[in-house]
């Protein structure tokens, strides 16, 4: 007896062709197609088994007509097989299909992210240069002279005689020379210095006579601007990230040279020269306090300005100046800021942010543009995953895929800079109950969605407060000069600062950044006190803060005010 498989070979050709067409049309896995093929073969074999040979072809044709179109039958059989699957298998298949679809979509999205390129439409470096260039007349620009001063700054060690000790007497152990940093940072009055330290400072000043000449020439020019360029060392980063800032690393030390020269001139009785040196440093500070310049330049200018103003107060406290010296010094200080003492401005930093947006993101499309993975990982400081130096960065692309789009990032960043600009123009007293700040705004955003903002928005809080303190110091210095002039001409100090303004000795009453009113002024006998209530916002009757700063003990154990006058005597650090 023949098996079914063997008997199937006796089926008419039209039947086997029909079965082959049905199985092919199923588009299903091989095991199921083989099963259906065998079932159809068995069915036709059984049906045609008792049919006479001469009638098999006619009978087979009739059967095929009853079965209908093979393509339709294959489709119906496939659907039936799918419906007959066990429920668990159906669930597993659907889950697999969902994940496969998601994987395909994610792969396409990551590929789209990975192949994005930035578009640079605005040259923000040129825009920054246009904002800062105050004139087309280069002869008015102080920067070339400052640049020469920075390059001429000598940093040689200084060897001077020192007090002998048993070890010094040993010729094998001579005293080591003082480094230029040690000399430059000697921040003590001459009277509090040892003779060898004074000699070291004098040697340092002699070494830097050329640098000071350039510094002096620069301070006498009315304007100062730098033409910013991109650093060639970062040619692969065509954005303001590669901006080459002015070399201001030692610029404050050049200001200290002026302060030391002022102290030696005062020691020799040359008070006019001492005041002129301080005014030179003050003019240099004014040059860098431009609201449209980068933050580091504004910060350096503020520090140098404060250095000069404090030294003028030191001179007033130590030397009896003539009326003419008082007048001249006050006039020159007032002339520094005809539009008022400048506060810190985020204008240039906002340009950095907008430039970073066009470098970190593509332009257009969903979300206004998507992050460029390679540029984002450079901004973050390190790559997330690298396949070769120039190969694809899959995880970089995945990381960039979750970052918010360009439009949303710009909106959030602009809102933060608007808040920064508002608060930089607001005194610490006005902000004392304001809990809004950039850090809180960032904390409210999902870090994984706005990681670009976390690395691009700088902190301005301390800079803003320090600018208000610098303005208070400037106004206090003018007030002290005016009070001394008033006393010289009237014989007594005025009862109030308003009397000083009404008499024409001062243009405006000095503002206290830590109250809603002016600095506190009190006359006691033949002396006066001028102070700010400082950061605890409480009047402690002119009791100086222990470290002569602006912040009393934060634990509340000791209060204090920031006293401008009388100038507090020098206090040697505990380790001296």
> DSSP assignment of 473-498, as one string?
HHHHHHHHHHHHHHHHHHSS--SSHH
Residue 391 has pLDDT above 50, yes or no: no
d(CA 445, CA 439): 10
SS3 content of the chain, % helix, strand, coil (to 5): 60, 5, 35
Categorize the per-residue pLDDT at 156 as very low, low, confident or very high, splitting at 50, 70 and 90: low
Residue 316's alpha-carbon distances to 58, 167, 275, in angstroms, are 129, 43, 10
pLDDT of residue 172: 45
Could you give the maximum distance between any two Cα atoms of the chain, in Å? 146
Per-residue pLDDT reduced to its tens digit, 396-414: 555 566 788 899 999 999 9
With cut-offs at 50, 70 and 90, classify the pLDDT of residue 181.
low
3-state class of 571 per DSSP? coil
More confident residue, 67 or 305: 305
Closest-CA residue to 514 (of 547, 546, 479, 540): 540
Q: CA-to-CA distance for 287 and 343, rounded, in angstroms?
A: 14
Beta bridge partners of 520: 531
Query: Tokens 């520090």 identify what position?
Result: 303
Alpha-carbon gap, residue 67 to 341, rounded angstroms: 98
User: 546 with 563: CB under 8 angstroms?
Assistant: no
Beta-carbon neighbour count of residue 143 at 10 Å? 18
Q: Please, which pLDDT band fits residue 440 given cuts at 50, 70 and 90?
A: confident
Neighbour tally for 377: CB within 10 Å: 21
In this structure, the number of other CB atoms found within 10 A of the CB of residue 515 comes to 17
Provide the angle, in degrees to the nearest 10, between the axes of the packed helices 143-152 and 209-219. 170
How far is the C-alpha of 532 from the C-alpha of 544, rounded, in Å? 10
| Helical segments of 84-177, H only | 87-114, 124-132, 143-152
Q: pTM, whole model, 2 decimals?
A: 0.78
**Is cis: bond before 487, omega within 30 of 0?**
no
Tokens of 551: 């912040």
pLDDT at site 99: 84
Q: How many residues does the chain have?
A: 576
Helix ranges restricted to H, 208-294: 209-219, 251-267, 271-288
Instruction: Specify burial of residue 223 (Cβ count, 10 A radius: 0-12, 13-18, 19+).
Output: middle
99/405 Cα distance (integer angstroms): 25
The mean pLDDT of 89-108, rounded to a whole number, is 78
d(CA 206, CA 213): 11
Do 314 and 568 touch, CB atoms closer than 8 A? no
Q: pLDDT tens digits, residue range 56-81?
A: 778 778 877 877 787 887 777 777 77
Mean pLDDT, to the nearest integer, of 335-339?
Answer: 94
| Displacement of CA 383 from its chain's centroid (Å) | 19
Tokens of 383: 């790559």
Q: What does the pLDDT look like over 124-154, one tens digit per residue?
A: 999 999 999 988 899 999 999 999 999 998 8
pLDDT score at 412:
93
For the four alpha carbons of 235, 237, 243 and 244, in that order, the dihedral sign comes to: negative
């Amino acid at each position: 007896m023949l098996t079914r498989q063997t008997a199937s070979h006796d089926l008419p050709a039209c039947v086997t062709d029909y079965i082959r067409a049905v199985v092919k049309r199923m588009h299903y896995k091989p095991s199921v197609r083989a099963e259906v093929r065998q079932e159809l073969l068995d069915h036709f074999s059984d049906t045609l088994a008792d049919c006479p040979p001469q009638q098999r072809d006619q009978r087979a044709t009739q059967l095929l007509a009853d079965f209908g179109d093979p393509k339709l039958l294959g489709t119906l059989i496939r659907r039936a097989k799918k419906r007959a699957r066990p429920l668990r298998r159906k669930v597993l298949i659907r889950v697999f299909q969902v994940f496969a679809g998601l994987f395909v979509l994610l792969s396409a999205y990551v590929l789209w992210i990975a192949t994005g390129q930035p578009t640079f439409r605005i040259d923000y470096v040129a825009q920054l240069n246009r904002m800062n260039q105050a004139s087309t007349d280069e002869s008015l620009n102080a920067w070339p002279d400052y640049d020469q001063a920075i390059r001429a700054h000598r940093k040689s060690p200084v060897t001077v005689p020192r007090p002998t000790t048993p070890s010094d007497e040993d010729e094998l152990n001579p005293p080591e020379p003082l480094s230029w940093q040690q000399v430059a940072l000697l921040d003590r009055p001459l009277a509090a210095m040892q003779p060898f330290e004074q000699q070291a400072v004098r040697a340092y000043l002699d070494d830097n006579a050329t640098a000071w000449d350039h510094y002096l020439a620069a301070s006498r020019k009315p304007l100062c601007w730098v033409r910013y360029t991109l650093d060639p060392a970062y040619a692969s980063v065509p954005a303001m990230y590669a901006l080459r800032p002015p070399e201001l690393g030692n610029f404050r030390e050049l200001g200290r040279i002026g302060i030391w020269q002022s102290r030696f001139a005062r020691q020799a009785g040359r008070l006019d020269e001492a005041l002129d040196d301080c005014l030179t440093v003050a003019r240099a500070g004014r040059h860098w306090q431009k609201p449209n310049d980068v933050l580091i330049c504004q910060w350096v200018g503020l520090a140098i300005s404060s250095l000069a103003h404090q030294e003028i107060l030191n001179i007033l406290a130590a030397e009896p100046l003539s009326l003419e010296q008082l007048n001249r010094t006050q006039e020159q200080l007032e002339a520094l800021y005809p539009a008022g003492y400048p506060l810190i401005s985020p204008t240039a930093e906002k340009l950095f942010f907008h430039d970073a947006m066009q470098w970190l993101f593509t332009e257009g499309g969903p979300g206004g543009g998507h992050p460029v993975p390679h540029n984002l990982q450079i901004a973050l400081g390190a790559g997330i995953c690298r396949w070769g130096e120039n190969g694809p960065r899959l995880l970089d692309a995945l990381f960039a895929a979750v970052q918010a789009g360009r439009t949303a990032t710009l909106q959030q960043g602009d809102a933060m800079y608007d808040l920064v600009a508002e608060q930089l123009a607001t005194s610490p007293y006005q902000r004392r109950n304001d809990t809004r700040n950039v850090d809180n705004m960032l904390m409210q955003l999902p870090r994984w969605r706005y990681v670009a903002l976390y690395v691009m928005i700088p902190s301005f809080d301390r800079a803003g407060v320090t600018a208000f303190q610098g303005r208070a110091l400037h106004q206090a210095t003018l007030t002290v000069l005016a009070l001394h002039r008033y006393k010289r001409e009237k014989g007594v100090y005025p009862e109030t600062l308003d009397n000083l303004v009404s008499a024409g000795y001062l243009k405006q009453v000095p503002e206290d950044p830590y109250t809603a009113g002016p600095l506190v002024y009190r006359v006691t006998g033949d002396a006066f006190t001028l102070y700010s209530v400082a950061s605890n916002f409480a009047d402690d009757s002119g009791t100086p803060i222990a470290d002569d700063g602006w912040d009393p003990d934060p634990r509340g154990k000791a209060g204090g005010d920031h006293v401008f006058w009388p100038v507090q005597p020098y206090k040697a650090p505990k380790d001296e």
